[in-house]
Amino acid sequence: MARFFDVHPEDPQPRAIGQVVNMLQGGGLIAYPTDSCYALGAQIGNREALDRIRTIRQLDNKHHFTLVCKDFAQMGQFVMLDNDIFRSIKAVTPGSYTFILPATREVPKRLLHPKKKTVGVRIPDHRVVQALLAELGEPLLSSTLLLPDEEEPLTQGWEIKERLDNQVDGVIDAGDTGSEPTTVIDFSSGVAEVVRYGTGDPSRFE
């Protein structure tokens, strides 16, 4: 049965954040709100949680997982950024965008796209997520909480707890989120390509 955390969206309680981080460090899988919609999150090295995310979402091995980062210093450890791409990303970050970039050796192979050797990264504009990342001290392995055969992600903590009670270890509820996932920009070829239209305004990259 998933543990339910009721967290203030603007001023998240340190005790609750600490309990969630302990759960993550103990191998747990959580559902958490972001600046776009809910996502599933775990520690980067948690192979079992990765398999659980694949099972919940019925994903194949070509799916791009995302590393949710606290800031650019953290992001720069896991992806390769030239100056032009850095400036393009910095102009809209933090925000509701995911960027696909060539991965560094710090990223476990099982998280990479099998052919492109790329990974998704993002820096969300959400105080609860930022508090989690600050306490965790590393990015969250993440995937949009979009269930198979459903067109929109789940947006309410109580509903997620009801539907995924035996599939996740914790659910953070910080009020309603949006119902659209992030806009995804693929920089793997060196130029921007919009591969998913979502919450973030894509016009800058088109």
Q: Is the pLDDT of residue 132 over 80?
A: yes
Taking all residues of the chain, what is their mean pLDDT, rounded to a whole number? 94
Number of domains in the chain: 1
Looking at residue 96, its pLDDT comes to 95
- pLDDT top residue among 192 and 153: 192
Cα of 182 vs its chain's centroid, Å: 10
As a whole number, mean pLDDT of residues 158-181 equals 92
Looking at residue 64, its pLDDT comes to 82
Cβ–Cβ < 8 Å for 195, 182:
no
- Amino acid letter at 145? L
C-alpha angle 160-196-103 in degrees, rounded to nearest 5: 90
Which pLDDT band, with edges at 50, 70 and 90, does 8 fall under?
very high
For residue 71, give its domain range: 3-205
As a whole number, mean pLDDT of residues 63-72 equals 93
- Peptide bond between residue 139 and the one before it cis (omega within 30 degrees of 0): no
CATH number at residue 163: 3.90.870.10
Q: In what order do the strands lie in the sheet with 97-102?
A: 3-6, 170-173, 30-33, 38-43, 140-144, 66-68, 118-122, 97-102, 183-186, 193-196
